[in-house]
Homo-oligomer: A and B are copies of this chain.
Amino acid sequence: MKIAIDHKSPVPLHIQAEQLIRKMIEDESYQDGKVLPNEVDLAKILAISRSTLRQAINKLVFEGLLVRKKRVGTKVNKVQVSSKSNNWLSFSQEMKLRGIKIRNFELHVTWVYPNETIANFFEIKSDRKVLKMERLRGSMDEPFVYFESYFHPRVGMTGDEDFKRPLYELLETEHSVIATLSKEEISALEAEAQIAEKLRIPIGGAVLLRKRFVYDQGERPIEYNLGYYKAKSFTYTLESRR
């Protein structure tokens, strides 16, 4: 394992430390209750100050991943919800896994003023335009999902990118942006006229809405993504343990 922190990297040291610790505690011995190195030593090992290390650990403690105890040390919390099976695949990869060949029906790129939700998520003012990408995708026969993606200006999208490539690969190679964290919200709703038309279903037909909030290594927002899936064409699966 690489236990190095890059002091020259633009991503903050405490974030790097946080990610390192996440990796570190995936190890079985930690899962079984071994205490991790004490703060003073660990700070020395990572070559950062104790305060900075504590910043990282604090976050994981708050998340419930770690527990600290005076004079004892810091351990991995037992009641852990291992969401390991969350692979994080691109849409094309996901579909490939399911043996579905993808066809792109529409692709539309524009610059728009963000609505309140987006401006808030991006932490920008709403008079600053962001790149919006719309996509209608599906099987060879028919579209079954409509995507709406918004990119933070920081990413540096031009709109001329080759969107046929996997998106996260594109972000990485073209813009040096590495998507590492995704928060999702899944719900059902009835299709409005615009969506219904695109997905070729009656107005009011059931749709699965998957909102994704995507962050980079520095946990800064980079993409806001809405996916409207035609009912029954998509199932979200996950495992949790306690």
Interfacial chain B residues near A242, Cβ < 8 Å: 87-88, 179-180
A81 in the interface (beta carbon within 8 A):
yes
Q: How far is the CB of A219 from chain B (nearest CB, A)?
A: 10
Cα A41 to Cα B29 with chains together (Å): 46
A232 in the interface (beta carbon within 8 A):
yes
Give 1 or 0 for each of A31-55: 1 = CB within 8 Å of chain B CB. 0000000000000000000000000
Number of interface residues of A (CB under 8 A): 44
Flag if A181 contacts B239 (CB, 8 Å).
yes
Copies assembled: 2
Flag if B180 contacts A238 (CB, 8 Å).
no
Flag if B231 contacts A185 (CB, 8 Å).
no
Flag if A239 contacts B207 (CB, 8 Å).
no
Chain A, 201-242, CB within 8 A of any chain B CB = 204-208, 229, 231-232, 234-242
Interfacial chain B residues near A234, Cβ < 8 Å: 187-188
